[in-house]
Structure 1
């Protein structure tokens, strides 16, 4: 096999340099985000300054502004990640084979696990969601309601307004529950908590469903 020429070696060196710069840029950005998230959680969003963030990240102020226009950009990026994750979870609910106890409990278990993985960001949003993102949050909740109420035939026992109301209440229940759960305000008996949540969800989803045998005389049903 012929040895690489100087030209090919130089080309390889030039092509790898942008990759290294891109990796360094991503690393710096993630370091700034991690530093900001820790400070938002510890001090609060309003009390945290850009100077605090760059000091915590070990970066220069000018470097911060190469990546962000302000600290609001960071919390918006954290929010986008959480909202995308949450949307994926509610979309997965629509793909459940049924609304049995086992199916809903497994989905709720996955939802709680995903929330635990996003513990830090969820705490920030629960306690000090910046005012600028509150309207966006409400828009995302509407998206979650639309995802949760699919497929429509599974919700056919309810009117569309009632289906949306119940979906909204179930979603806001989880949004309230998760920060309390992660803060240790609930019993750590995970299995019992999941059973209780599953019961609430099934009762809310299945209430008012008409039993096809409800008005049938038992004797005629046996016959």
Structure 2
């Protein structure tokens, strides 16, 4: 067997083992929560050895960080929907669609998001990971605001970054309320209301 084929098999085995560990970690986190979950439970469920597991992940925080990235990438895909509006109406329509999709995804991913919220309050590693994810969203929103300002659709006296930060914080607050089952209004009504608040203040 050629060295190249051997390397390919090793790589494939490595990828499969990593995914097995992530799948097992997700199952354990969903059952036990972040605090009670242990790396031993995950390794046992993945049917792999400790040495092999630690080649891929340093511990349960590392596993949860990757799971958080994977889930939040779905949210980020919403934020990166093509935003090239030619009118205020088109901008508002797109922003409302993004907001609604973002909040509905919070509903769909509620169980895992509950684990993330618990971990953010306990682990500095996970808290820092969430802060980094938040900044990624804010920078993307800032770009969309700057585009609207450049094309004469939005007020230019407002800082794109400060405005983006305020908009994300509003969405984030409702995201966690939805995750905790604390929201009192339908998600559609929340999306309509906060989009109107945001766009009325920003767009001409």
TM-score clears 0.5:
yes
1:49 Cα deviation after fit: 1.8
Q: Distance in 2 between matches of 1:127 and 1:43?
A: 11
| Compared CA separation, residues 115 and 55, structure 1 to 2 (3 A) | same
Q: Does residue 200 of the first structure (1) align with residue 194 of the second (2)?
A: yes
- In structure 1, the partner of 2:169 is 169
CA contact (8 A) 1:155 1:163 kept: no
CA contact (8 A) 1:32 1:53 kept: yes
Q: Distance in 1 between matches of 2:30 and 2:196?
A: 34
CA contact (8 A) 2:103 2:175 kept: no
Instruction: Give TM-score, length-normalised by structure 2.
Output: 0.74
Q: Distance in 2 between matches of 1:156 and 1:186?
A: 31
The one-character-per-residue Cα deviations of 1:60-89 (angstroms, maximum 9, x if unpaired) are 222212212222211121223334443343
Q: Does residue 47 of the first structure (1) align with residue 36 of the second (2)?
A: yes
- In structure 1, the partner of 2:124 is 131
- In structure 2, the partner of 1:215 is none
1:50 Cα deviation after fit: 1.9
- In structure 2, the partner of 1:19 is 8
- In structure 2, the partner of 1:104 is 95
Deviates more, 1:111-120 or 1:37-46: 111-120
Task: Extract unaligned runs of 5+ from structure 2.
Answer: none
Q: Distance in 2 between matches of 1:137 and 1:111?
A: 16
1:171 Cα deviation after fit: 3.1
1:202 Cα deviation after fit: 2.0
Instruction: Give TM-score, length-normalised by structure 1.
Output: 0.68
CA contact (8 A) 2:103 2:187 kept: no
- In structure 2, the partner of 1:5 is none
1:138 Cα deviation after fit: 2.2
- In structure 1, the partner of 2:69 is 80
Q: Distance in 2 between matches of 1:57 and 1:208?
A: 50
Larger radius of gyration: 1
CA contact (8 A) 1:54 1:60 kept: yes
Q: Distance in 1 between matches of 2:156 and 2:18?
A: 49
CA contact (8 A) 2:25 2:63 kept: yes
Please provide the CA RMSD for this pair: 3.1
Residues paired across the two proteins, number: 192
Structure with greater proportional helix content: 2
| Compared CA separation, residues 125 and 65, structure 1 to 2 (3 A) | same
Higher RCO by CA contacts (8 Å cutoff, separation 6 or greater)? 2
1:30 Cα deviation after fit: 0.8
